[in-house]
């Protein structure tokens, strides 16, 4: 074998030994078990003594058998550590939780319990942080970020935008503490009037949005009317009736355009005296936006009575 090839083979073997803990353990055991035999052979060769080749062969076979048994037992003892390592890597890289099923009272058992505890603790903390990142701290509702994620999952049905009436006056007259109370209480009342399949989120300020994934616009109109009546009928604060104006639009696949149409319908409700739910039939506003505009209604919008709601 050429010298360069031998050098490359040795480097490969050394790299394997450096990287593999199990290989180092096996090599150590092999050398340790065979050291007495190597010493005996070396002594005989140096002193020129007689070799009992039969006995030497027997001892060699015994040491090889002992080495094999030792390596087998060591591998079984070390495998739980390998599984613990894979479980930690799986969670760190892919957020996958592998069950660490090793149970013992020794050090490896303690390592397995500690690794399982660490993975569960980290998973719970991550879930808590993810929940906080997607939740409005004041009302406990999903926030704007969560709303758009939900909107991508549920593309059909209808969407509604809600804006509390005269909220600035409430803040100026009663203070921000009362304003926060009104926001929390109103959010709870609206959520209680919705169906299990509906989802309300807070867009910001006094503005909320509702996804109604299983509803036609007419069905969504009646659901939002029920929510409006629930808010108006509740004694949220003394000496003042809390109400909201809302716009409802059919989902078309472009959530930004859908919000723009619902927003225009909501401003029709504001212009019509507030405390109303208006259904939009305008399908022309399909440009992509980040914040629903405050545009006026289209000239050919038609206002029709529909129970307590309107169509525009």
Active-site residues: which are they? Answer: 206
**What backbone phi and psi angles, to 5 degrees, belong to 244?**
-140, 160
157 torsion bin: left (phi>0), alpha (psi -120 to 50), beta (else): left
Which is nearest to 267 in space by CA: 162, 158, 144, 157? 162
CA distances from 17 to 11, 13, 14, 83 (A): 10, 6, 5, 20
Q: How far apart are CA 53 and CA 57, in angstroms?
A: 6
Concatenate the DSSP letters of all residues of 225-282 into one string.
HHHHHHHHTS--BTTB---EEEEEEE--S-HHHHHHHHHHHHHHHHHTTSS-EEE---
For the chain, counts of helices (H) and of strands (E): 9, 7
The first and second tokens of residue 228, run together, are 């409006």
Measured in whole angstroms, the distance separating CA 154 from the mean position of its chain's CA atoms is: 18
Q: Is 15 helix (H, G, I), strand (E, B) or coil?
A: helix
């Amino acid at each position: 074998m050429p010298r360069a090839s031998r050098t490359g083979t040795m480097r490969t073997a050394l790299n394997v030994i450096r990287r593999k803990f199990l290989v180092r353990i096996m090599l150590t055991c092999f050398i340790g078990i065979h050291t007495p035999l190597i010493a005996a052979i070396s002594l005989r060769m140096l002193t020129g003594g007689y070799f009992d080749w039969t006995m030497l062969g027997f001892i060699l076979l015994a040491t090889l058998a002992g080495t094999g048994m030792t390596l087998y037992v060591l591998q079984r003892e070390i495998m739980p550590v390998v599984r613990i390592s894979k479980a930690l890597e799986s969670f760190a890289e892919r957020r996958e939780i592998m069950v660490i099923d090793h149970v013992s009272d020794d050090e490896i058992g303690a390592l397995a319990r500690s690794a399982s505890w660490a993975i569960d603790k980290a998973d719970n903390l991550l879930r808590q942080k993810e929940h906080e990142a997607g939740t409005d701290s004041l009302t406990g509702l999903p926030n704007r970020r969560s709303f758009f994620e939900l909107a991508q999952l549920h593309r059909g049905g209808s969407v509604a935008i809600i804006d509390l009436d005269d909220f600035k006056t409430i803040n100026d007259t009663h203070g921000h503490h009362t304003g926060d109370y009104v926001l929390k209480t109103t959010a709870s009342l609206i959520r209680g009037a919705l169906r299990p399949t509906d989802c309300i989120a807070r867009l910001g300020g006094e503005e909320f949005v509702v996804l109604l994934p299983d509803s036609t616009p007419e069905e969504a109109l009646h659901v939002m009317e029920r929510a409006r009546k629930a808010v108006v009928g509740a004694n949220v604060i003394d000496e003042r009736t809390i109400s909201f104006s809302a716009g409802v639009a059919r989902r078309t696949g472009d959530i930004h355009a859908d919000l723009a149409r619902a927003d225009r319908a909501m401003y029709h409700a504001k212009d019509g005296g507030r405390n109303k739910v208006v259904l939009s039939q305008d399908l022309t506003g399909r440009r992509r936006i980040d914040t629903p505009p405050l545009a006026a209604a289209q000239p050919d919008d038609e206002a029709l009575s529909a129970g307590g709601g309107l169509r525009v």
